[in-house]
Every structure is written in structure tokens, then in C-alpha cells.
Amino acid sequence: MVQVIEGLPSLEKIIAEAGDKLIVIDFFATWCGPCKMIAPKYEELSKENTNVVFLKVDVDDNEEIAIKYEISSMPTFVFIKNNQVVHQFAGASLDKLKDSIQKYQ
């Protein structure tokens, strides 16, 4: 299941509670074509990888979070483990997404 984040306090709480689980954050925008293309595949990955926390952040509604993670293009995927960013990439690449999940979980 993909959880939509509303606000930095909500995100920080989830990160704190995740422990050593991998967290993947999809930074997206409603007007972004590639974001719409990858969204159903991201949802599928969340069902296949139940030990990974999948989140989505709308950059237009959560500018504070986008600034904190230095997001400049969408989609951008940020991977967090043990409260640290371990990887990040921009673009709607399903292969990169799958490979990164396997590598960091």
C-alpha cells in the first residue's frame, strides 16, 4: 500500500517509526505526465514488497518536504534506511526503481 504524505511532521513520524525498513518516497506532481505513467507500477511494487514502506509526496502541496530533499524534477524517488537517505534518482524508470528496492532493502 502506498501512503500519501501530508506535511513534514507526518513524514518525520513515519521515518522514525520505520526502524531499519527501507522507505521509498515518490515525489510527484499531478500535472506530471511521467508521474502518472509510473504511479500504477509504483502501487504494484508496494503490494509485491510488503516489507518496504512506500510513500508519495505531492510537491505542490508539500513544498517544505520538497525543499528539504532538494527535489528539482518529478518524479524523483528517494530511498531512506535507518533515518538516512541512501539513494535518490529522478525519472520514471521502473527498472531503476526495482533494482534500487532490491539493492537497499
The residues carrying an active-site annotation are: 32, 35
Beta strand 76-81 pairing with 84-90: antiparallel
Q: How far apart are the first and last CA of the chain?
A: 16
Query: Which H/E stretch holds residue 86?
Result: strand 84-90
* Angstrom distance (rounded) from CA 37 to CA 47: 17
Residues 6+ apart with CB under 8 A from 10: none
